[in-house]
Every structure is written in structure tokens, then in C-alpha cells.
């Protein structure tokens, strides 16, 4: 019992993910700054932001649902902590994973935007509810191609649905990325991840120039800190999930660790570059994009996987 609690709260779970999430969000800001020919913030910037936001006053808007408004960020934080714990347990001890943990991870990743929607809707602000409704539509858009893309490794491995088995299959055979269906599914998964992270081509739910931060608009102080922390942890956990699913994860022995970290960093920089080189889409354009070409590509990947290439 204490071992499980320690795992959730400290090592693969909350503390570890939070610290690495801060680091990753610094990489995000630094690479963005370099793309724009600026210097960018110092290494400890996310920690300063975190401590400063904790020290600010927390305001609950008049007319908002007080309890739900304050609980929603905690739900998001708990969900991302659990996802991270599950994924790291799979990486460190692949034999220990339980049947269907892939499905649990997919469910928990859907809890995050739902928590944002609940929080936004509870804040009694018209712009927040507009952002929440956009977030809702965006979930409907990307969830289908995302699940189809994650279906491809399962088919290739012959119907295995444990993350640990998928990982050991990749270690004994080849990463799922090294096949035609794997490449197509990986591209689809990157696009869906971008929408899940709420980064630029798909950040219409918090578009700060039109609906000023959307669901987060009324948050201040500690609840805002929790949301920020959740976003940073997502930026760390989601690319890691794709590395596990498609690129063979990280093998913890001598040089393979460096190679694993390199895979992760390359994927992260791809996400950041997509974010920095695209304009924001409207919500209807994003829906058309996800339900049209992206779902088509995902279906193609599934068919290719069934054919066996």
C-alpha cells in the first residue's frame, strides 16, 4: 500500500512528473524564443512562475459554482499523475502491467479536457463557457482518429492490449514506427496529440487574443497553478506515451537510455515546431480537418495494419 502511494506521489508519479514537466515547459519556451530569434527565459522560469502563482490571491467569481470551480483543477492533476505513473511503471517494469492498461490510459487522457470543461463552465463567465464548448467540440474531433491510430500497434502486435506486452514486442521485433501503417498512424497520433495538448494550430479553446484564455479566464492563484502544472505535465507525458506506443520506449541500459531520451526530445521539438510555424484554426476548420483527412489517414493505417505492411 505504502509502495503504491509512494509510486503515485513521488517517483514515477506526481513529484517526478512535475519536475520534469517544468523542465519540458522551459524547453518549449526556450525553443519558441530561439525560433523567434530571442534569448528566452532562464532555466528556473517555470519554478518561479509556479511559486509566484501559489502566492497570489485566489478569487472565486460571484455566481460561479464554488466547489466545482475549485475541484476541477484537482481532477485534471490527479488524472495526469495517474497516467504518468502507469506509463513509467510500464517502462521500468514491463511485466507488471495489467490487462487493458492501454484503455485506462486513453480514458484518463480524456478526463483532462473534461476537467477543463467543467471548470470553465463553473466559472460563470460567457467567454469561459465559449472556450469550454470549443474544447468539447475539439474532443469529439480528435478522439476518433487518436484511438484508431493507437489501434494500429495493437493490430500489428497481434491483438495485445497490455502496454507492457506492446513494449516487449517492440524490443524483440521492431518498433511499430518501422512499417508503413506505423508511419501513417504516427503522423495521425502527432496531430491528435497537438490538439490534446491545446497547442497552436488547435488552441482555439483558449485563444488568448479572442476569448482571453477561454476556460482558464477566471482562475487565479493556486487553482491556476494547478492548471498550469497539469499543462506542463501533459507536455511531458503525452510525447512519452507516443514514444512508448510507436518508437519502442526507453530501454534502461547504458547507451540505450541516451537513445531513448533523444527520441523523446526529437518528438518534443517536432511538437514545438508545429506550434511555432502555424496559425490558429477556427473550430469548424479543425473539426473538418479531424473528421476528414485525419480520420481517413487513420482508417488507411488500420487497413494497412490488417494487410500486414
Interface with other proteins by CB under 8 A: which residues? Answer: 29, 33, 36-42, 44-45, 48-49, 51-52, 55-59, 208-209, 212-213, 216-221, 224
Output the smallest distance, CB 174 to other proteins, in A.
42
Closer residue to other proteins (CB): 213 or 297: 213
Nearer to other proteins, 59 or 99 (CB): 59
CB of 34 to other proteins, least distance (A): 10
CA distances from 260 to 80, 185, 190 (A): 22, 20, 18
Instruction: Decide whether 69 or 142 has the Cβ nearer to other proteins.
Output: 69
Instruction: Give the chain's end-to-end CA distance (angstroms, integer).
Output: 44
Rank residues 202 and 290 by Cβ distance to other proteins and give the closer one: 202
Distance between CA atoms of residues 76 and 198, nearest Å: 14
Between the alpha carbon of residue 46 and those of residues 28, 227, 308, the distances in Å are: 11, 13, 45
Residue 131 or 248: which CB sits closer to other proteins? 131
Least Cβ distance, residue 129 to other proteins (angstroms): 15
What is the smallest separation between the CB atom of 263 and other proteins, expressed in angstroms?
Answer: 29
Are the C-beta atoms of residues 80 and 232 closer than 8 Å to each other?
no
CB of 13 to other proteins, least distance (A): 25
192 CB contacts (<8 Å, ≥6 apart)? Answer: 142, 145, 146, 149, 290, 294
Q: Which residue stretches of the chain are H helix?
A: 2-9, 14-35, 45-54, 66-92, 101-121, 126-156, 163-172, 180-197, 221-246, 255-276, 283-289, 295-307
Which residue's CB is nearer to other proteins, number 56 or number 174?
56
Task: Report d(CA 1, CA 175) in Å as an integer.
Answer: 35
Amino acid at each position: 500500500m505504502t509502495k503504491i502511494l509512494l509510486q503515485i506521489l513521488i517517483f514515477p508519479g506526481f513529484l517526478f512528473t512535475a519536475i520534469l514537466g517544468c523542465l519540458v515547459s522551459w524547453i518549449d519556451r526556450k525553443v519558441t524564443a530561439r525560433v523567434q530569434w530571442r534569448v528566452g527565459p532562464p532555466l528556473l522560469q517555470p519554478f518561479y512562475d509556479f511559486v509566484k502563482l501559489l502566492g497570489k490571491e485566489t478569487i472565486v467569481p460571484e455566481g460561479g459554482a464554488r466547489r466545482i470551480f475549485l475541484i476541477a483543477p484537482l481532477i485534471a492533476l490527479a488524472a495526469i499523475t495517474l497516467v504518468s505513473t502507469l506509463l513509467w511503471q510500464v517502462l521500468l517494469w514491463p511485466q507488471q502491467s495489467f490487462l487493458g492498461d492501454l484503455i485506462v490510459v486513453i480514458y484518463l487522457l480524456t478526463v483532462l479536457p473534461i476537467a477543463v470543461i467543467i471548470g470553465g463552465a463553473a466559472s460563470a463567465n460567457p467567454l469561459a463557457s465559449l472556450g469550454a464548448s470549443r474544447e468539447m467540440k475539439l474532443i469529439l474531433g480528435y478522439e476518433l482518429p487518436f484511438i484508431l491510430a493507437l489501434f494500429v500497434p495493437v493490430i500489428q502486435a497481434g491483438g495485445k492490449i497490455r502496454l507492457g506486452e506492446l513494449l516487449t514486442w517492440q524490443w524483440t521485433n521492431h518498433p511499430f514506427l518501422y512499417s508503413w501503417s506505423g508511419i501513417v498512424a504516427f503522423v495521425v497520433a502527432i496531430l491528435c496529440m497537438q490538439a490534446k495538448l491545446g497547442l497552436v494550430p488547435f488552441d482555439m479553446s483558449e485563444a488568448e487574443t479572442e476569448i482571453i484564455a477561454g476556460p482558464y479566464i477566471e482562475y487565479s492563484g493556486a487553482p491556476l497553478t494547478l492548471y498550469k502544472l497539469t499543462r506542463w505535465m501533459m507536455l511531458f507525458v503525452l510525447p512519452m506515451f507516443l514514444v512508448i506506443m510507436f518508437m519502442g520506449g526507453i530501454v534502461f541500459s547504458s547507451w540505450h537510455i541516451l537513445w531513448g531520451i533523444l527520441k523523446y526530445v526529437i518528438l518534443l521539438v517536432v511538437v514545438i515546431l508545429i506550434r511555432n510555424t502555424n496559425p490558429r484554426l477556427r473550430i469548424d476548420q479543425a473539426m473538418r480537418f479531424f473528421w476528414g483527412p485525419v480520420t481517413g489517414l487513420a482508417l488507411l493505417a488500420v487497413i494497412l495494419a490488417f494487410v500486414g505492411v
